[in-house]
Structure 1
């Protein structure tokens, strides 16, 4: 039996400049209260992970079509599982 995971209040979207806006629209259409933080580089990703979430809730990373390698320490610090596709 899988444990129930909370819904994220924030998603860090690690993807390119072309894909980012489209994903934001789709994600926010499903949850208008969702905070979507777009990062394109490792530095932007690290900065996004270091700041507290706006609502203090759970954070998830979604990585799409990027060559950025996410450090293990950042993955371990996330509240929810990350997705890479």
Structure 2
């Protein structure tokens, strides 16, 4: 795992992961020395269901998502979760 960059965030935003179009991504930032190796994603699928995921990049720069919170059609709740995680 490597440190995430703003270019990584730009590359992820607008892509599709597991059927979800990525609307936003951000670097975690925090007090731990490796916080900048992790981030959060906000995605929407074709049924307008929303998810926020924790993620990191694998050695081949592919995105590994986990620890999802799912919000069905409640975009406002998903955005709040994305901003506060």
TM-score, normalized by length of structure 2? 0.30
Asked which structure has the greater RCO (Cα within 8 Å, sep 6+), the reply is 1
Q: Which has the higher strand share?
A: 2
More helix by share: 1
